Copies of this chain bind each other. A is one copy, B any other.
Amino acid sequence: MKALVVCSGGLDSVTLAYKVANEGTLVSMLSFNYGQRHVKELDFARQCADQLGVKHTVIDLSQVGANLTSALTPTSDDNREIPDGHYAESSMQATVVPNRNAIMMTIAYGLAASQQADTVAMAVHGGDHFIYADCRPAFMESFASMQKLALEGVADISLYTPFLHQNKADIVREGSKQQVPFAETWSCYKGLDQHCGRCGTCVERREAFHLANTPDPTLYEDADFWLSVT
């Protein structure tokens, strides 16, 4: 396996990068700037690539993001708030960026083909399925089949999603095993100085460390908010 890891700089994809690197099959890492409020996550992705000693490509999709409606990608005429609370709430629909994963994954496959990698690795996990259709197993399977046809005669690339049927607490456990520097990962959708502790991804992160019975090195502005929504 020669894998390109799609890495946002978040806990899940940094853990995936360490896992693949420790398995000896990491070729390169790929991140996307799609105009997300929390673009600072990319600094953490770059730091991870530096530590693992692999090429890191950041693709600028901010113009694409500006054309996609979501609270994660504010524009001058659409500047919705990031909702507080647990992912399992309908308000989290605002954080859906239409077709985000499919767009990123097709680009990842194109780069993998050009870099002679044979695998694209994505850190989607079970907790993403409820809210994001493009993180569900049925989508991933369909996507992988589509790509075999799209690249027929050009490249043979497989999709590696080892966390697909795990939850975020499992990923924290895996990260501990892989000696991931958790403090050097970024989750918060708001992208301020510290993790807010209130948005969907902060609540999920805080809860995951708790469930995994693992010390959470993250500094949260509102460290106890998660208790009120879980």
Contact = CB atoms under 8 A, between A and B. Distances in A.
A127 to B, nearest CB: 17
Interface string A85-109: 0000000000011111111011101
B96 A154 contact: yes
A121 B57 CA distance: 31
B139 A154 contact: no
User: Within the oligomer, what is the number of copies of this chain?
Assistant: 2
A64 B106 CA distance: 11
B114 A133 contact: no
A151 interface: yes
A59 interface: yes
B63 A147 contact: no
A142 B72 CA distance: 29
A151 B99 CA distance: 7
A224 to B, nearest CB: 32
B139 A150 contact: yes
Interface in A34-61: 57, 59-60
A14 B63 CA distance: 24
